[in-house]
Amino acid sequence: MSKKNKKEQWFVPAGIEPTEMDLKIMAWQEKGKKVPTRQLIKTPEQIEGIRRAGALNTAVLDHVAEHIRQGMTTGEIDRLVYDFTIKHGGIPAPLNYEGYPKSCCTSINDVVCHGIPSDEEELWDGDIINVDCTTILDGYYADASRMFCIGNVSEADKRLVDIAWECLKVGEEVCHPYCFVGDLGNAIAKHAHKNGCTVVRDLCGHGVGNQFHEDPDIVHYGKKGTGMLLVPGMVFTIEPMVNAGDWEVCEDAEDESGWIILTEDGSNSAQWEHTYLMTEDGLEILTH
Ligand code: MF3
Ligand code: CO
Ligand code: CO
């Protein structure tokens, strides 16, 4: 075992009585399962901060929902997000994040995620768009996204948007304390496949709260019992990207930044995202 792994072992300092949670985590660790580090368990103070960031992030998305309409540009959506967030004391986390140029992601039709808002890009009748916002408030992060249907959307695209929503709900349902990431990934992919859709594998959900992207990776496919153990106090997103066609994605060749991700086969893609707190009783949504 490497030094790094040793340091990441869950342990209880000598002289301290292990809690029930310590014992459960150590039992799984001994069975060779991936367990969180203490750093991934949020303190009550951190949870309160993330909860407040979540409330503002929800207000940002509500503000978008109120104003989004056919004929608007994604650049205008970006300004709505920026202005509202700043006015309420927050910071849009995407802005300047690893070179990302805007305050939110706007992903239309076959754009899977990380669509960059632009004054040149208009919302057309029949478009489906994901608006993904992450807000920093007092140093804490919350991350969520929603789909919007513009004008007369085809039955097939409405169905895709609904199935992506159901995938999120199915993931939530199987997510209980001391489950594994693979349990929810498995349930999500099954639901997508049952409905003739696929789940993107190259991008995943993530721990969040003290930073934009933390451990663990929340993959939306896989085997039950694989991936990290999810325990009370952990905060993470679930955000399945569901494709109408094949699961493969690629970078947009016309986008020099390399951010924009498309479906490889040109089929449409839908996604919903929330930030969750794992509690002793199950998930709490921090972004609604
Ligand atoms: N909000 C996205 C997520 O759900 C990440 C976007 S990174 C950005 O993880 F830089 F494109 F904003
Ligand atoms: Co997001
Ligand atoms: Co996210």
Q: What pLDDT shows up at residue 6?
A: 54
Mean pLDDT of 172-182: 98
What residue's CA is closest to ligand 1, atom 12?
94
Question: What's the CA gap between 281 and 259, in Å, rounded?
Answer: 37
Q: What pLDDT shows up at residue 8?
A: 73
What residue's CA is closest to ligand 1, atom 7?
94
**Domains of the chain (ranges, CATH numbers):** 33-285 (3.90.230.10)
Q: Is 132 in the pocket of ligand 1 (CB under 6 A)?
A: yes
Residue 236: beta bridge partners?
207, 276
Task: Characterize 235-254 residue by residue with b for buried, 16 or more Cβ atoms within 10 angstroms of its Cβ, and e for exposed.
Answer: bbbbbbbbbbbebebeebee
Q: pLDDT-derived band of residue 7, with 50, 70 and 90 as boundaries?
A: low
Atom of ligand 1 nearest to the CA of 133: 1
In sign, the C-alpha dihedral spanning 136, 281, 241, 154 is negative
H-run or E-run covering 172: helix 155-174
DSSP string, 210-254: SSSSEEEEE-SS--TT-SBEE-TT-EEEE--EEESS-S-EEE-TT
Ligand 2 centre distance from Cα of residue 102 (Å): 13
Kindly list the distances between the CA atom of residue 44 and the CA atoms of 50, 157, 233, 253, 279, in Å, as whole numbers in the listed order: 10, 41, 8, 45, 12
Q: What pLDDT shows up at residue 9?
A: 86
What residue's CA is closest to ligand 1, atom 8?
94
DSSP class of residue 264? T
Q: pLDDT-derived band of residue 155, with 50, 70 and 90 as boundaries?
A: very high
Q: Is 178 in the pocket of ligand 1 (CB under 6 A)?
A: no
Q: Do 162 and 270 contact (CB within 8 A), yes or no?
A: no
Q: Is 134 in the pocket of ligand 1 (CB under 6 A)?
A: yes
User: Which residues does 192 contact at the CB level (< 8 Å), separation at least 6?
Assistant: 163, 167, 198, 199, 240, 242
Crossing angle of helices 44-67 and 74-87, rounded to 10°: 140
Q: Do 185 and 202 contact (CB within 8 A), yes or no?
A: no
Q: Is 212 in the pocket of ligand 1 (CB under 6 A)?
A: no
Q: pLDDT-derived band of residue 1, with 50, 70 and 90 as boundaries?
A: very low
Q: Is 78 in the pocket of ligand 1 (CB under 6 A)?
A: no
**Percent of the chain whose pLDDT exceeds 70:** 98
Assess whether pLDDT exceeds 50 at residue 46. yes
Question: What's the CA gap between 122 and 139, in Å, rounded?
Answer: 33
Q: pLDDT digits over 109-130, tens only?
A: 999 999 999 999 999 999 999 9
The rounded mean pLDDT for the chain is 97
What residue's CA is closest to ligand 1, atom 2?
132
What residue's CA is closest to ligand 1, atom 11?
114
Q: What pLDDT shows up at residue 161?
A: 99
Q: What pLDDT shows up at residue 2?
A: 44
Q: Is 97 in the pocket of ligand 1 (CB under 6 A)?
A: yes
Ligand 2 centre distance from Cα of residue 274 (Å): 8
Q: pLDDT digits over 13-25, tens only?
A: 899 999 999 999 9
Q: pLDDT digits over 182-230, tens only?
A: 999 999 999 999 999 999 999 999 999 999 999 999 999 999 999 999 9
Assess whether pLDDT exceeds 90 at residue 94. yes
